[in-house]
Amino acid sequence: MIGMRVRHVGGQRWAVAATAFVVFCVGLAGCDAGRAASDPSRPTNGPLDRTVRVLQMNLCNSGRADCYSGGRAVSMAVALVHEHQPDMVSLNEVCRDDLPVLEQAMSATVPPTTVVSAFTSAKDRQTDAPVRCQNGQEFGDGVLVVVSPPAVGSRSYSGVYPVQDPHDPEERVWACIALATRFTACTTHTTSVDPTMALNQCRYLVSSAVPRISRRTRAGPIIVGADLNLAARGSPSPEACLPGGYQRTDDGGLQSVMVSPGVGVVTHSVIDMQGTTDHPGLLVDLDLSRS
């Protein structure tokens, strides 16, 4: 049995006066039912195809870092997918083969659906080869999205930042999936060495790389789930990354979900990952109906 603590926060990130409360779900498998039945908190303020639930997680699953928990973070992530049934999952510090595990979990929650994914590996500064997990798989960032009508296709994109911290052994990367007629879903894990460089990488992603993709594919709104390595109340602030009209919500630490103009942040929740990783989970409900 796993005890999972979820702290729900209503409305926009700046509505900090909203009441926070704690919900306990004992035995995650027991919470996995149909989407509407198992999760009455899912937003109902717009058509189903205009609401998006995002689950952002840094799983620390390389096997090399002190926060590694022997793969338990992936099992925890699977349980959270079954429990919360997200439409989009953004992942940092994962191995390539972690994505099919999460893809299967997402497919099982609302069958029959199609789940598409994109993965990109961080680059080793010395060799320009992919960074590897302890198990030999490529190490990096991934994003997964449930494809449902009216989406009629998808395409993945990825890149290495043109600005890199010379003191970071990893060259940082980003990955996106453009869903035709719906939205563009992205993730990144910016440098942990220099916050100013992390801010520059974030700005490049949301002000340059992703808008080019969105214009090319006409995929509509932009959603970025990420570990920005920019403290929510630090300096520089992740707010400094946002182009005009963008909104953001965070886990109170280093992870954010950022959305392009017109997308509404309905609720967000910070999820205790039970010591399986050094970051909480960040669950965000979005409304695309105004975009």
Domain that holds residue 52: 3-287
CA 145, chain centre distance (Å): 10
pLDDT digits (tens, 9 = 90+) for 7-34: 544 443 333 333 332 333 323 333 333 3
One-letter identity of residue 148: S
CB 257 within 8 A of CB 232: no
CATH of the domain at 103: 3.60.10.10
CB 291 within 8 A of CB 263: yes
For residues 291 and 275, what is the distance between their CA atoms, to the nearest angstrom? 37
- Series of mean pLDDT values for 10-residue runs along the chain (291 residues): 47 34 31 37 53 97 90 96 96 97 90 88 95 97 86 86 96 94 93 97 97 83 97 95 96 97 95 96 92 60
What pLDDT, on the 0 to 100 scale, is given for residue 11?
A: 44
What pLDDT, on the 0 to 100 scale, is given for residue 7?
A: 53
Number of domains in the chain: 1
What tokens appear for 222 in the block?
A: 């932009």
One-letter identity of residue 102: L
